[in-house]
């Protein structure tokens, strides 16, 4: 684990603009002007944010990084403390190029890792009219089991941000961040993305956007670990990591400076947290300096590990998701719980900390949660809406969910607290619109000239229960049309293929506002069947099973043609879908 380094500035400085593509000197932008200019697309608002993936709980972070400037391979080392359990391993990398975007895939010991773009391409500046972009990527490599407890060494290759052959194209570097559990309790927070700073540009760019980390208060001072991953800081170029608490600013001068080799830094800094504090802010600053030149830098990820008091009792939060059949926002006698609803435990900034799912009775709980501030978020299943919020006189029988966001307000959990009062009410909206046939939906998917795409706004839809082993999630119009035309998922002699088509058209009609009362039970039956059967199973079905498939297919066909249900749109039915 790297700690703060005290730099001795006595070296001749590499003048790097956010690093360099090779180890020859490249002059950094020293002023706005006709040849070197700040880009208006970089306006100081490109801050880091909560990751788009769930972050594991644990006792702390450990990191390892390596620069990739002017090399085809390099070695990344990371030591995971003995006696710990690895909870999550994340891979970060970044660079810049005049041919945006950057390199979204690299190799670790010959294994290709595909990353998600988490920041950029950011148009940072131009040189003689050539735009220069930065991009950052992240991949969750936990399930690959590449990282083990103890000393690890990896060969990094296949890393190249040189898309255009320009002199300013550059690789920066690669870091692995491990969340481990050693049996102690800590509150972990992580942000990532891409935020850039250089003091020579306009004031909104002389520092990154401050990031606020929240945690539970303690009665005594304590020391937290601050994780910083940054690219582009050249050797010896002045910079600061500023941490602000109730006690004032803690300044880590020149904590970044190509310590993982040229243009890359991943460090863990000790931060003092005063007793009673529940938050702190972190900011990376390009120190104003011409001799040597202040750093131009890119902040890729930051994290905070705050130890909890020894023996602190964990808390629990959760309760119930139910079907609010009368849509009054109150849990009435006989209204059932809803199974398989995804629930997220989030921090109060919206970052996902954990995920669970309601059981067969609609119950859920997050146990062993560190005391602190949390909110909840419920993922709305297809065909449902959230009921009214905070109705009735009993807060234990209402719905706590904002219908617009699916989230709850922030709440504070004390040590040992068991808060089972957070409920969500859902209902199936009763549509009043008419229905369209399969042919209508095939011809309104946007694939012909002057053809409206009425399908895509109604997606995604599932054929089968959500995440069923054989279920199909229809996420785009091309897949929808293939299913409706009975192509690629069986042919017209295949009963399951025809069931796909009629069920999908039925669900499109309902999503478009049609009343589903005539087919609601049949949809549940069909989804349960398709969760465990796909079109390749048709020829192996028993006669009884084939009769069930044909019955369901015919029922949906009647619904789509207006023979049952609200009626066909050609007959003048209402609803938002009734236009030609």
Collapsing DSSP states into helix, strand and coil, what is residue 151?
A: strand
Comparison of pLDDT for 371 and 227, the residue scoring more: 227
Q: How far apart are CA 563 and CA 580, in angstroms?
A: 20
User: Measured between alpha carbons, how far is 170 from 18 in angstroms, rounded to an integer?
Assistant: 9
**Closest by CA position to 261, among listed 191, 166, 159:** 159
Confidence class for position 306, pLDDT limits 50, 70, 90: very high
Task: Please report where in the chains the tokens 């995440």 appear, as a residue.
Answer: 467
Q: pLDDT grade, residue 14 (50/70/90)?
A: very low
**Into which CATH architecture does domain 315-427 fall?**
Sandwich (2.60)
Question: Is the distance from CB of 305 to CB of 225 less than 8 angstroms?
Answer: yes
Cis peptide leading into residue 121 (ω within 30°): yes
Q: What is the pLDDT of residue 513?
A: 84
Cα separation, 407 vs 405, whole angstroms: 5
Closest CA to 116 of 87, 92, 100: 92
- Residue carrying the six token digits 């250089």: 198
Query: What percent of the chain has a predicted confidence (pLDDT) above 70?
Result: 87
Task: Please give the order of strands across the beta sheet that includes 186-198.
Answer: 186-198, 296-307, 222-231, 264-273
Which is more confidently placed, 476 or 161? 476
426 against 232, higher pLDDT: 426
Identify the burial level of 422 via C-beta atoms within 10 angstroms of its C-beta, where 0-12 means exposed, 13-18 middle and 19 or more buried.
buried
Taking the CA atoms of residue 511, residue 483, residue 497 and residue 533 in that order, the dihedral angle to the nearest 10 degrees is -70
What are the tens digits of pLDDT across the range 117-138? 998 888 777 777 777 788 999 9
* Nearest alpha-carbon partner for 289 in 83, 30, 562, 574: 30
Q: Are strands 418-427 and 315-323 parallel, antiparallel or unpaired?
A: parallel
Residue with tokens 């994780």: 227
Percent of the chain with pLDDT over 90: 62
Amino acid 10: pLDDT: 26
Average pLDDT in the chain: 86
Which CA distances in Å does 154 have to 110, 167, 375?
A: 10, 29, 38
The predicted structure's pLDDT at residue 121 = 85
- Residue (of 463, 460, 458) closest to 436 by Cα position: 458
Judged against a pLDDT cut of 90, whether residue 200 lies above it is answered with no
Out of 64-73, 96-105, 356-365, 523-532, which region has the weakest mean confidence (pLDDT)?
Answer: 96-105
pLDDT the model gives residue 166:
57
> Of 309-313, 445-449, 546-550, which range is least confident?
309-313
Residue 27 has pLDDT above 90, yes or no: no
Q: How far apart are CA 266 and CA 263, in angstroms?
A: 11
- pLDDT of 148: 96
Peptide bond into 362 cis (omega under 30): no
3-state secondary structure of 258: coil
Angle at 496 between CA 491 and CA 499, to 5 degrees: 100
pLDDT tens sequence across 487-529: 888 888 999 999 999 999 999 999 888 888 899 999 999 999 9
- As a whole number, mean pLDDT of residues 77-97 equals 94
Average pLDDT over residues 527-542: 95
Residues 6+ away with beta carbon under 8 Å from 2: 63, 259, 266, 267, 268
Give start-end residues of each CATH 2.60.40.10 domain in the chain: 315-427
pLDDT of residue 384: 85
pLDDT of residue 12: 27
Give, as one character, the DSSP assignment of residue 143.
Answer: G
Query: Is residue 17 over pLDDT 80?
Result: no
User: Under 8 Å CB-to-CB from 113, ≥6 apart: which residues?
Assistant: 91, 105, 106, 107, 139, 141
pLDDT above 60: residue 24: no
What is the pTM (predicted TM-score) of this model?
Answer: 0.53
| pLDDT for res 353 | 93
């Amino acid at each position: 684990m790297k700690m703060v380094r005290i730099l001795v500035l006595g070296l001749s400085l590499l003048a790097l603009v956010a690093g360099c593509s090779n180890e020859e000197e490249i002059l950094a932008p020293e002023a706005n002007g006709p040849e070197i200019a700040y880009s208006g697309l970089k306006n100081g608002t490109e801050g880091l944010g909560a990751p788009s993936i769930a972050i594991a709980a644990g006792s702390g972070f450990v990191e390892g990084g390596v620069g990739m400037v002017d090399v085809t391979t390099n070695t990344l080392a990371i030591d995971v403390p003995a006696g710990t359990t690895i909870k999550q391993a994340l891979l970060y990398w970044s660079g810049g190029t005049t041919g945006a975007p950057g390199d979204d895939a690299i190799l670790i010991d010959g294994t290709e890792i595909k990353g998600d773009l988490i920041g950029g391409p950011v148009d940072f500046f131009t040189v003689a009219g050539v735009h220069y972009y930065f991009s950052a990527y992240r991949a969750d490599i936990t399930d690959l089991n590449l990282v083990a407890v103890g000393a690890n060494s990896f060969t990094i290759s296949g890393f190249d941000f040189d898309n255009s052959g320009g002199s300013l194209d550059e690789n920066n570097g690669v870091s692995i961040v491990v969340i481990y559990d050693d049996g102690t309790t800590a509150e972990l927070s992580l942000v990532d993305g891409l935020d850039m700073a250089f003091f020579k540009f306009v004031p909104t760019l002389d520092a990154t956007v401050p990031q606020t980390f929240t945690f539970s208060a303690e009665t005594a001072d304590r020391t937290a670990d601050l994780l910083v991953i940054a690219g582009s800081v050249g050797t010896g170029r002045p910079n600061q990591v500023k941490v602000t608490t109730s006690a004032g600013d803690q300044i880590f001068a020149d904590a970044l400076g190509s310590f993982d080799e040229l243009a890359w830094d991943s460090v863990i800094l000790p931060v003092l947290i005063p007793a009673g504090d529940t938050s702190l802010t972190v900011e990376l600053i390009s120190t104003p300096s011409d001799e040597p030149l202040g750093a131009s830098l890119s902040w890729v990820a930051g994290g905070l590990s705050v130890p909890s008091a020894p023996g602190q009792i964990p808390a629990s939060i959760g309760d119930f998701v139910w079907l609010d059949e009368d849509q009054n926002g109150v849990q009435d006698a006989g209204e059932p719980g809803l199974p398989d609803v995804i629930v997220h435990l989030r921090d109060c900034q919206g970052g996902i900390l954990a995920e669970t799912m309601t059981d067969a009775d609609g119950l859920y709980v997050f146990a062993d949660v560190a005391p602190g501030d949390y909110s909840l978020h419920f993922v709305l299943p297809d065909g449902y809406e959230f009921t009214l919020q905070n109705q009735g006189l009993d807060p234990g029988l209402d719905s706590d969910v904002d219908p617009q966001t699916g989230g709850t307000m922030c709440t504070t959990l004390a040590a040992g607290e068991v808060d089972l009062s957070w409920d969500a009410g859902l209902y199936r909206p009763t549509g009043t619109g008419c229905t369209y046939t399969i042919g209508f939906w095939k011809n309104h998917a946007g694939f012909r000239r002057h053809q409206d795409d009425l399908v895509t706004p109604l997606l995604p839809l599932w054929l089968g229960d959500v995440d069923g082993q054989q279920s199909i999630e229809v996420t785009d119009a091309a897949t929808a049309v293939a299913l409706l035309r009975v192509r690629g998922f069986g042919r017209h002699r295949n009963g399951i293929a025809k069931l796909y088509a009629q069920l999908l058209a039925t669900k499109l009609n309902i999503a478009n506002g049609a009343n589903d009362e005539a087919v609601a039970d049949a949809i549940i039956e069909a989804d349960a069947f398709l969760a465990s059967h796909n079109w390749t199973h048709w020829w192996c079905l028993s006669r009884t099973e084939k009769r069930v498939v044909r019955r369901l297919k015919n029922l949906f066909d009647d619904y789509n043609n207006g023979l049952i249900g609200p009626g066909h749109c050609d007959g003048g039915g209402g609803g938002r879908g009734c236009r030609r």
